[in-house]
Amino acid sequence: MVRVEMLAVGKELLIGRTLNTNAQWLGRRLGRKGTLLAEITTVDDDLSEIAAGLKGCLGRRADFVIVVGGLGPTPDDMTLKRISKGMGSALRLNREALSLIREHYAQRNLSSVKMTPARKKMATLPVGAKPVRNEVGTAPGVRLELEGTTVFCLPGVPSEMKDIFLRSVESEIATKLGKLYRKYISLKIEGIYESALAPMIESELRRHPGAYIKSHPRGVKEGKSRIELDVAMVSKSRKDAADSVVQVVREIKSKIESVGAAVVSERGTAPSGRR
């Protein structure tokens, strides 16, 4: 098992100003790779809150922690300050990070931009940390090792977070995971209540212990109860992943049809492996 956690930093997430779409995106992305985003912690822009959040992730022996937010030039962006304190290592101007920032401005014909303290802050990393290229925005991401956990600090801006994750983080997680395949099918079902579906799901889970089977009630329309049912399986074998899901779907279909309900649509993915 590879344990991946997210530590989202930002008051805006806690006061309801910003929806944590980064968490949803990361969870989905990791799910497709065959692993779970095991835990999402959200903390305030506050040194002791960031420390407590990170301590929790390290205490749970996460293999990877994706820290998102608080990397920018503003005073409330204090992720790296907190991490350097926790590592017991100083914050220093990192030459590689500085040249990434200069490159960023040069590519935008802004070579004359002055390296103000706010800009230098984005290149000031804990000693021992490595900057990670940000092709979209200015502040580089940061990679470091803490107590056996690989920590990536990414900017909060969703387009930057996604870009750095896809370029520099995902492949490292995928390598640690090894080759896995995930098959997924989602069914739209009409004419059965969740309470009647529940024992069918339970019996399928007993027959296929590794499967993920989850119902989502979608209300009642024209007198018919509607449910979406997701079925997924992750396996080292492409065939096993596909066979299990197809079999679960076949069995569920036959059970619900026997009580007069129907599958009205079916959508899914081919077994996806490491991309």
The C-alpha R_g of the chain, in whole angstroms, comes to 23
Residue 18: name its binding partner from Mg ion, ligand ATP, none (Cβ under 5 to 8 Å by kind). Answer: ligand ATP
The site that binds Mg ion (CB under 5 A) totals a number of residues, namely 3
CA-wise closest residue to 180 among 249, 271, 247, 268: 271
Closer to ligand ATP by Cβ: residue 131 or 155:
155
Binding to Mg ion by residue 69, rule CB under 5 A? yes
Q: Does 53 bind Mg ion (CB under 5 A)?
A: no
Exposure class string for 208-219: b at 16+ Cβ within 10 A, else e:
beebbbebeeee
Nearer to ligand ATP, 9 or 229 (CB): 9
Position 132 contacts ligand ATP (CB under 6 A) = no
Contacts of 56 (CB under 8 A, 6+ apart): 41
Binding ligand ATP by CB under 6 A: which of 4, 5, 7, 20? 20
CB 73 within 8 A of CB 38: no
Nearest to 123 by CA among 94, 143, 151, 152: 94
User: Cβ of residue 111: shortest distance to ligand ATP, in angstroms?
Assistant: 20
Parallel/antiparallel/unpaired status of strands 4-9 and 64-68: parallel
User: Considering only residues 194-253, where is the footprint of ligand ATP by CB under 6 A?
Assistant: none
Contact call for residue 140 and Mg ion (CB under 5 A): no
Q: Which of residues 69-128 bind ligand ATP (CB under 6 A)?
A: 69-72, 74, 77
Q: Where is 72: in which H helix or E strand?
A: none
Out of 2, 4, 7, 22, the residue judged to bind ligand ATP by CB under 6 A: 22
Q: Decide whether 69 or 86 has the Cβ nearer to Mg ion.
A: 69
Q: Cβ 134 to ligand ATP, closest distance in Å?
A: 9
Q: Which residues of 230-239 are buried (b: 16+ CB within 10 A; e: fewer)?
A: ebbbbbeebe
Query: Which of 158, 224, 243, 253 lies at the binding interface for ligand ATP (CB under 6 A)?
Result: 158
CA distance 228 to 105: 48
What is the Cα–Cα distance from 126 to 113, expressed in whole angstroms? 25
Q: Per rule CB under 6 A, is residue 156 in the interface with ligand ATP?
A: yes
Of 82-90, 153-161, 203-211, 225-233: span binding ligand ATP (CB under 6 A) = 153-161
Any contact of residue 41 with ligand ATP (CB under 6 A)? Answer: no
Nearest-10 crossing angle of helices 194-207, 238-257: 140
The b-or-e profile of 76-89 (16+ CB within 10 A means b, else e) is ebbbbbbbbbbbee
Q: Which stretch binds ligand ATP (CB under 6 A): 65-73, 88-96, 101-109, 205-213?
A: 65-73
* Contacts with 169 (C-beta within 8 Å, 6 or more apart), sequence order: 64, 66, 132, 141, 152, 154
Q: Report the partner that residue 41 touches, choosing among ligand ATP, Mg ion, none (CB closer than 5 to 8 A by kind).
A: none
Catalog residues that contact ligand ATP under the rule CB under 6 A: 8, 10, 12-13, 18, 20-23, 68-72, 74, 77, 137, 139, 155-158
Under the rule (CB under 5 A), what is the footprint of Mg ion? 10, 69-70
